[in-house]
Structure 1
Amino acid sequence: MKKLVLTLVMLMLGACAGVPVSTDYSQSYDFSNVSSYAWLLPPMNKKSEVDNDLIRERVINAVDMQLTAKGMKEVSAGDGPSVLLSYQLGQEDKIAIDNIGSWYTHFGYYPCYRCNPRGRHGYIGASHFYNDDLWVRNYKESTLMVDVIAPESKKLLWRGTTKRVIPTLKTPEERRLYVLETVSAILAEFPPGSAVAH
């Protein structure tokens, strides 16, 4: 069973190579001693559209799968875990404005308006951007942070973060795979120095 999980994780790592991830961690902490973990879940924000029982279950299952493949064991908080785990999830509406020169001005597709009296195109000094277009796009960006915390002091030891444009997700399975891909990309960097080269 463990080999199957590891195989699935490796396949996911190959699929999520393009997911942008940033990490920060304590350079004085010895992460090689991390062998077990317990969850320290934040209170659920009922007003947030991205914080609910379904998403929480998907995040927890994805993290558990990744850490199991790394040889770490989940225990209860009272059984002396090496570290505590938590996560933060957010979503933000974004607007992108692109200034794109009209395609026909770049390639000289205005023969009637771009000709000199002798019928030659593209006279010297002609501007190729006189008919620029502004494209406005609305999209949603998700942020997921996975935190590794010291059990006694509750100090942050490691944090992995990714921000992604949210694609159109129509089914529960598509949402599960999106979360799994995102979590896989983040935890590929944990413990520090363990990232798999792609």
Structure 2
Amino acid sequence: MKWWLIVASVVLVGCAGVPVDTDYNTDYDYAAVSSYAWLPRPEPGDDVKSAELYNDLSHQRVKAAVDQQFRARGYELVDSADDASVLVTYHLGLEDKTRIDDFGSWYTHFGYYPCYHCVGRPGFGTPYFHDDDLWVRQYQENTLIIDLVDPKTKQLLWRGSSKRNQPRLETPEERRLFVLETVAAILEQFPPGRQVSK
């Protein structure tokens, strides 16, 4: 078995829980896709967050992950857009988010809720009520969108996207694997109707 088939199998197992949305042109014959070419890389905007997202390292990771997935399907990477079945580009996003969880007052979970404040609740030694438990969590949501474009009409043919909570990524290898897992999950849905063996 070739090395990239082993890697693809491992990644597909890992990306089973990655959320993915797709949309596509239902009139296009996706079975005719045999090659692809890259559109010019996205350029960063003027803000700091865009510059952080669209850098050479992130571009190399996304491009390498897409190339690996397409190569595993037998799609040929070509230099000229005139020779390609489809054109490929991507978009990145990173948004600060806040999540508020309301676990209710003491009586809604008394007896089984893993309560860290129960020392001040009835039955725990102090005779007074606490207000509802509100847990506030701030996190970053990472978005990756992959677009496939018709080289002749320049119209969008297929779009796959994933929004994920951005984990703490401390090393280049962790960042590479996060991108690879996300790209694999998105392109698992291409072409439309593709059946992936489990």
- Give the TM bin, normalised by the shorter chain: 0.7 to 0.9
Q: Contact 1:105 / 1:131 at 8 angstroms: preserved in 2?
A: no
Q: What is the alpha-carbon root mean square deviation over aligned residues?
A: 2.2
Name the SS of the counterpart of 2:16 in structure 1.
coil
What is the CA–CA distance in structure 2 between the aligned matches of 1:140 and 1:197, rounded to whole Å? 33
1:110 and 2:122 matched: yes
Q: Which residue of structure 2 aligns with residue 6 of structure 1?
A: 5
Q: Contact 2:82 / 2:151 at 8 angstroms: preserved in 1?
A: no
Shift of 1:136: 1.1
1:168 and 2:178 matched: no
Q: Which residue of structure 1 aligns with residue 61 of structure 2?
A: 58
Seen in structure 2, the aligned counterparts of structure 1 residues 63 and 138 have a Cα distance that, compared at 3 Å, is same
Q: Which amino acid aligns with 1:110?
A: P
Name the SS of the counterpart of 2:157 in structure 1.
strand
Q: Which residue of structure 1 aligns with residue 115 of structure 2?
A: none
Structure 2 unaligned spans of 5+: 112-120
Q: Which residue of structure 2 aligns with residue 122 of structure 1?
A: none
Give the structure with higher Rg (CA).
1
TM-score, with structure 1 as normaliser: 0.85
What is the CA–CA distance in structure 1 between the aligned matches of 2:103 and 2:37, rounded to whole Å? 50
1:95 and 2:103 matched: no
Q: Which residue of structure 2 aligns with residue 147 of structure 1?
A: 147
Structure 1 unaligned spans of 5+: 116-128
**Bigger fraction of residues in helix:** 2
Deviations along 1:34-58, one digit per CA (max 9) or x if unpaired, are 0000000343105412111100000
Give runs of aligned pairs for residues 10-89 of structure 1, distance below 5 A. 10-45=9-44, 47=47, 48=50, 49-78=52-81, 80-89=83-92
TM-score, with structure 2 as normaliser: 0.85
The count of aligned residue pairs is 184
